[in-house]
């Protein structure tokens, strides 16, 4: 039986200018005081990590590990979600994507992409220096504006976009391979890799690259109405990371998956704090364990209603106090849309 490590917490949604969210030391202590065992670090937050320095200095990487350990946690993975997004940007999104990059590359898509590629490659070396085996990122998007088109897409447009996506990512995947680290794409609406089919399209074009793996986050599948349990059956051998994030989908006669351009709180599909949504985490933990997943369970908080601090505190009370071992169950558990569940800690005892 495999044991899922955790719980850990992704720091991206908590980073800020005020203590305890302003420095790596402070936020690690805050997480440890809540009972978290690990932290996933967003590399674009310069007050937490100097990515280039972590890539080029083993001494600095060891210092980062030591600081986290002194606070009572360990570093689980690094993330380049924002930089990965900039590896592939459709021109329609150029203006809004500039905000993810430094001012020196604004209004210069070529320079911005080169900066992003270097950032993600540095993350490979930094992960190796930190002793990490998996890395979180986004694929970026060249075809997303054509998802549900009228008039119909020109023949070959999607294929061309995915060919180009593979050309951009293959050298990055090779760099991660040299460093012994898996790239884990978070499958996410607004990314070209947003479901199983699109991941397979990409995987074929990168010749089933051994480093082109997955970050499993069921919340994004609830919003798409994709069967997130069967997804594990299909792709368990590629799942290397796991975000514990809840969501709900409540369609009405006025809105559905697309949610009518409404704000997060008014959408039919929205993220929720752990335990407040519809994700059947008891079945997910059991299924992942049965397939042998032994990575970290990392809380990601993005609730449309509650505060970040409340979400972190409540989630920690729901997750087990030690490593997350769940009993083997049959692999034919059906998806339940809105299950009534006891706390995850009891389900996985």
Provide the pLDDT for residue 320: 64
Q: Do residues 255 and 262 lie in contact, with contact meaning Cβ atoms separated by under 8 Å?
A: yes
Judged against a pLDDT cut of 90, whether residue 195 lies above it is answered with yes
pLDDT tens track for 117-169: 999 999 999 999 999 999 999 999 999 999 998 999 999 999 999 999 999 99
Provide the pLDDT for residue 325: 52
Judged against a pLDDT cut of 90, whether residue 241 lies above it is answered with yes
Q: Residue 252 maps to which CATH number? A: 3.20.20.150
CB burial of residue 337 (10 Å; 0-12, 13-18, 19+): exposed
The better pLDDT of the pair 86, 324 is held by: 86
pLDDT grade for 321, boundaries at 50, 70 and 90:
low
SS (H, E, C) 4-70: EEEEEEECCCCCCCCCCCCCHHHHHHHHHHHCCCEEEEECCCCCCCCHHHHHHCHHHHHHHHHHHHH
Judged against a pLDDT cut of 70, whether residue 178 lies above it is answered with yes
Q: Do residues 329 and 290 lie in contact, with contact meaning Cβ atoms separated by under 8 Å?
A: yes
Provide the pLDDT for residue 2: 72
Provide the pLDDT for residue 346: 35
Output the DSSP codes for 116-185.
HHHHHHHHHHHHHHHT--EEEE---BSSGGGSS-SSPPPTTHHHHHHHHHHHHHHHHHHHHHHHT-EEEE
pLDDT tens track for 19-35: 999 999 999 999 999 99
pLDDT tens track for 250-298: 999 999 999 999 999 999 999 999 999 999 999 999 999 999 999 999 9
* pTM of structure: 0.92
The count of structural domains within the chain is 1
Provide the pLDDT for residue 344: 42
Can you tell me the distance from the alpha carbon of 147 to that of 139, in angstroms, rounded to the nearest whole number? 16
Tokens of 257: 């998956």
Tokens of 54: 């972590």
End-to-end, the C-alpha distance of the chain in Å comes to 14
Neighbours of 256 (CB within 10 A): 14
Provide the pLDDT for residue 134: 98
Judged against a pLDDT cut of 90, whether residue 341 lies above it is answered with no
Q: Which helix (H) or strand (E) holds 106?
A: none
pLDDT tens track for 31-47: 999 999 999 999 999 99
Q: Percentage of the chain surpassing pLDDT 70? A: 91
- Residue 95 CB contacts under 8 Å (≥ 6 apart), including other chains: none
Provide the pLDDT for residue 53: 98
Task: Identify the domain containing residue 335 by its residue range.
Answer: 5-347
Judged against a pLDDT cut of 80, whether residue 337 lies above it is answered with no
pLDDT tens track for 51-85: 999 999 999 999 999 999 999 999 999 999 999 99
Provide the pLDDT for residue 324: 53
The average confidence (pLDDT) of the chain is 92
Q: Do residues 284 and 319 lie in contact, with contact meaning Cβ atoms separated by under 8 Å?
A: no
CB burial of residue 110 (10 Å; 0-12, 13-18, 19+): exposed
């Amino acid at each position: 039986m495999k044991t899922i490590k955790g719980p850990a917490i992704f720091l991206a949604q908590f980073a800020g200018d005020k203590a305890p969210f302003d420095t790596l030391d402070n936020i690690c202590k805050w997480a440890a005081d809540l009972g978290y065992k690990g932290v996933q670090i967003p590399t674009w937050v310069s007050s937490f990590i100097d990515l280039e320095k972590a890539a080029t200095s083993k001494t600095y990487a060891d210092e980062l590990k030591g600081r986290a350990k002194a606070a009572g946690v360990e570093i689980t993975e690094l993330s380049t979600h924002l930089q990965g997004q900039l590896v592939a940007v459709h021109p329609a999104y150029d203006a809004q994507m500039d905000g993810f990059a430094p001012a020196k590359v604004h209004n210069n898509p070529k320079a911005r992409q080169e900066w992003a590629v270097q950032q993600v490659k540095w993350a490979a070396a930094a992960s190796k220096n930190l002793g990490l085996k998996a890395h979180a990122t986004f694929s970026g998007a060249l075809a997303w504006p054509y998802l549900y088109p009228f008039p119909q897409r020109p023949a070959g447009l999607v294929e061309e976009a995915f060919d180009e996506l593979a050309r951009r990512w293959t050298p990055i995947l090779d760099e991660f391979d040299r460093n012994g680290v898996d790239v884990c794409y978070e499958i996410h609406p607004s990314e070209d890799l947003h479901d199983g089919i699109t991941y397979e399209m990409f995987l074929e074009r990168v010749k089933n690259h051994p480093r082109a793996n997955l970050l499993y986050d069921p919340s994004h599948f609830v919003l798409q109405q994709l069967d997130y349990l069967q997804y594990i059956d299909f792709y368990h051998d590629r799942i290397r990371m796991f975000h514990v994030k809840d969501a709900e989908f409540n369609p009405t006669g006025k809105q559905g998956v697309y949610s009518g351009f409404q704000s997060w709180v008014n959408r039919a599909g929205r993220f929720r704090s752990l335990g407040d949504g519809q994700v059947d985490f008891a079945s997910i933990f059991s299924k992942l364990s049965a397939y042998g997943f032994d990575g970290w369970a990392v809380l990601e908080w993005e609730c449309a209603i509650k505060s970040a601090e409340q979400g972190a505190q409540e989630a920690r009370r729901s997750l087990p106090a030690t490593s997350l071992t769940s009993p083997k169950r049959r692999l034919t558990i059906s998806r339940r849309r809105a299950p009534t569940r006891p706390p995850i800690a009891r389900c996985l005892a």
